[in-house]
Amino acid sequence: MKRVARVLAFAQTAYFVAVAQTATAQVDEAPSVLVESPPPADYNAKLLLTNGISTIGGASGGGISDWATIAGRQSDRGIGVQLHVSGAVLPDYLWQSHGIAVGIADRVELSYARQNFDTQDVGAALGIGQGYVLNQDVWGAKLRVAGDTVYGSPLLPQIAVGVQYKRSLDGGVAAAVGAAHDEGVDFVVSATKLFLARSILLDATARMTKANQNGLLGFGSVGNDDYSVQFEGALAYQFSRRFVMGAEYRSKPDNLGLGEDDWIDIFAAWGATDNITVTAAYADLGSIATFEGQRGVFAQAQLAF
């Protein structure tokens, strides 16, 4: 009996040891269930193209309309940067800009752009000189106040408020065409949402401004120096994570009585790499300084981190 008891005790001890070893092995073999794997190196990067491109004023968004997006590819734990060079060829003018925008924690954006507008033969016709180039500096700041472009409730877009200080470097020309000032401030409120399941992006923007031709011809006029609220909007479809097409609209005041028209464009943006975006667009800018039919091609190269 004693021998049987010893055998049973040994068997019982062996059983409990085996159970303990099995439990330990299961824990060791399945750490991924209990402990999350470390994030990839680009964990904090935004989805490709969701930082927008660079607008004509240097802020992030579309080509001609400001969006609620924040510049750069870094999300809420980093500082993002994007650099751009843009150009447009119109029947009577050439336009070029370059600039930089910095996004801080996907919350604050600071931007700068220099705009150069070559009047070509129009300069001679207007008496300011053949090929005279109008120049303007645009400094901007934007704050995301609610929502997220991609995540969160589809009923709550990303909402941002912004301010842009514009300074024309050709005050004499602005005064000659009747502008009241050679510098001015725009106030902007934007709402942007990417419906990821449908690959559709929508934007609506309200701008309070006095700018004539975006400020290149000064601000306000001797007879009308009041702010007006203008509308900007965009609709885009993302065909893939690297390619998107869409259209934009921007209304504009006609403070100088020169028949200034609203702007429309149809654009395509391609994320050539994770950091380089190339954009091309057909733009209809209407009448500029009484010269009508200003339709042409817009192109931009952007580098973003």
pLDDT tens digits for 125-159? Answer: 888 899 999 999 999 999 999 999 999 998 999 99
Distance CA 66, CA 101 (A): 13
Same-domain status, 283 and 250: yes
Collapsing DSSP to helix, strand or coil, 82 comes out as: strand
Residue 204's identity, in one-letter code, is A
Residue 3 has pLDDT above 60, yes or no: no
pLDDT for residue 299: 98
Question: 135 and 12 in one domain?
Answer: no
Q: Is the pLDDT of residue 4 over 90?
A: no
Query: How high is the pLDDT of residue 43?
Result: 57
**42 found inside a domain:** no
Q: What is the pLDDT of residue 190?
A: 98
Question: Is position 43 within any domain?
Answer: no
Residue 236 maps to a domain? yes
Based on the fold, state whether residues 241 and 268 are members of the same structural domain: yes
126 in the same domain as 26: no
pLDDT at 1 over 70: no
Q: How far apart are CA 266 and CA 65, in angstroms?
A: 12
Kindly tell me if the per-residue pLDDT of 31 is higher than 70: no
How crowded is residue 291: how many other Cβ atoms within 10 Å of its Cβ? 19
Report the CATH number at residue 142: 2.40.160.40
Q: Quote the CA–CA distance of 128 and 143 in Å, as a whole number.
A: 39
Cβ proximity of 291 and 120 under 8 Å: no
Q: What mean pLDDT is predicted for residues 271-299?
A: 96
pLDDT at 167 over 80: yes
* Chain segment 221-251, per-residue pLDDT in tens: 998 999 999 999 999 999 999 999 999 999 9
- Residue 121 pLDDT > 90, yes or no? yes
**What percentage of the chain has pLDDT greater than the value 90?**
79
Q: Are residues 155 and 232 in the same domain?
A: yes
Q: Are residues 64 and 118 in the same domain?
A: yes
- The reported pLDDT for the residue numbered 293 is 95
157, part of any domain: yes
Residue 15: what are its φ and ψ, rounded to 5°?
Answer: -65, -50
What's the pLDDT band for 22 if we cut at 50, 70, 90?
very low
Cβ-in-10-Å burial (0-12, 13-18, 19+) of 49 comes to: buried
Q: How far apart are CA 185 and CA 160, in angstroms?
A: 17
Residues 19 and 162 in one domain: no
Sequence-ordered list of residues with C-beta below 8 angstroms from that of 239, at least 6 positions apart, any chain: 199, 245
Residue 117 shares a structural domain with residue 217: yes
What is the residue range of 161's domain? 53-304
- Quick one: which H or E segment has residue 29? helix 2-29
pTM for this predicted structure: 0.83
28 and 96 part of one domain = no
Given a cut of 50, whether residue 21 has pLDDT beyond it is no
**Are both 30 and 74 inside the same structural domain?**
no
**Quick check: is 47 in a domain?**
no
Alpha-carbon distances, residue 71 vs 50, 125, 197 (angstroms): 9, 40, 23
pLDDT at 42: 52
Q: Is residue 263 part of a domain?
A: yes
Asked whether residue 35 carries a pLDDT value surpassing 50, the answer given is no
Digit-coded pLDDT (tens) for 38-91: 445 555 789 999 999 999 999 999 999 999 999 999 988 899 999 999 999 999
In a domain, 209, yes or no: yes
* Same domain membership, residue 139 and residue 214: yes
Q: Report the mean per-residue pLDDT for the chain.
A: 88
The pair of three-digit structure tokens given for residue 261, joined into one six-digit string: 């028209």
Mark whether 9 and 58 lie in a shared domain: no
Tens-place pLDDT, residues 251-282:
999 999 999 999 999 999 999 999 999 999 99
Residue 234: C-alpha distances to residues 63, 66, 267 (Å):
10, 9, 10
Measure the CA angle with vertex 109, ends 106 and 113; round to 5°.
Answer: 140
Are 273 and 305 contacting, i.e. CB atoms less than 8 angstroms apart? Answer: no
Position 170 in a domain: yes
**What is the bridge-based pairing of β-strands 243-250 and 263-271?**
antiparallel
Q: Give how many domains the chain has, as a whole number.
A: 2
